[in-house]
Amino acid sequence: MTRFSPRRLLEKRCTHGRRVAVTLLLCAASLLSACSGIKTYENNFNKNLHVHTATDSGSWFSRVHAAVDIHRVGEDCALDYEGTVELTGPATEIGIPPDRRSYLVFVFNSFSFFSNRSGTITYETLVKPRSNHHYDAAASYKNDLYHVMIREIPPDRSASRELDRLALSSCRSSSDRK
């Protein structure tokens, strides 16, 4: 036989209230993320792209957020958004499908609390990773300057080479030649 306890009833109500609040928050968060159109990249392939990220907004009153959007490039050069990887730590491992064209969009999003201004700047490039090759990318943002460099490293780790940035138009022009 359980005795009536106002304290227990209060605890029960609080727990229930917390559950409702958490459920509502989760609903709101999933609704917001769905509305924003951002989805997390599944990242199921072998991790062949190592991204080293360094961001510094240069001020206490602003912040910079980095991410990379991965798009599949179709035969007709049409883009199919596959997802986003947040570059939150200094090193991120990403699996890009080999022997197939992908379009990488490095996104630097800055927000200034002081002036309440936000802006997004991107660096886009076409890549076609080769099997068994590794790719090292450096993505940095400092003093309002950003830099992205991707190097291709062969399986035997001999001389690496810097990949030139390839615009999406280069895909279209190569498709036109076919």
Partner 1 sequence: MNRFHVLIVVLNLFSLVGCVSHPQSAEEFRKAVPGAFSATVETFEVDRPFGQVASTFQKMGPNCLSKTIKTTSRTTTSYQVIVTTYKPTVLVRGKKAELHVQQHHEQGVINVSKEPAGGYYLLVADAQPVTQTKTRIDLYRPSMGHSVLIQAVKNWATGENVGCPDLTK
Per-residue binding string, partner 1, 72-111, x by CB under 8 A, is: ------------------------------------x-x-
Cα dist from 103 to 81, 83, 166, whole Å: 9, 11, 9
Give the H/E segment covering residue 169. helix 168-177
37 part of the interface to partner 1, by CB under 8 A: no
Backbone φ and ψ of 166, nearest 5°: -115, 120
CB 160 within 8 A of CB 141: no
Strand partners, 110: 64, 119
Beta strands 161-162 and 79-86, pairing class: unpaired
117 part of the interface to partner 1, by CB under 8 A: yes
CB of 142 to partner 1, least distance (A): 8
Among 147, 154, 172, 173, binds partner 1 (CB under 8 A): 147
Stretch that binds partner 1, among 9-17, 71-79, 91-99, 114-122 (CB under 8 A): 114-122
Burial category of 157 from C-beta neighbours within 10 Å (exposed 0-12, middle 13-18, buried 19 and up): exposed
121 part of the interface to partner 1, by CB under 8 A: yes
CB of 121 to partner 1, least distance (A): 5
> Between 57 and 160, whose beta carbon lies closer to partner 1?
57
Binding residues vs partner 1 (CB under 8 A): 108, 110, 115-123, 140-147, 165, 167
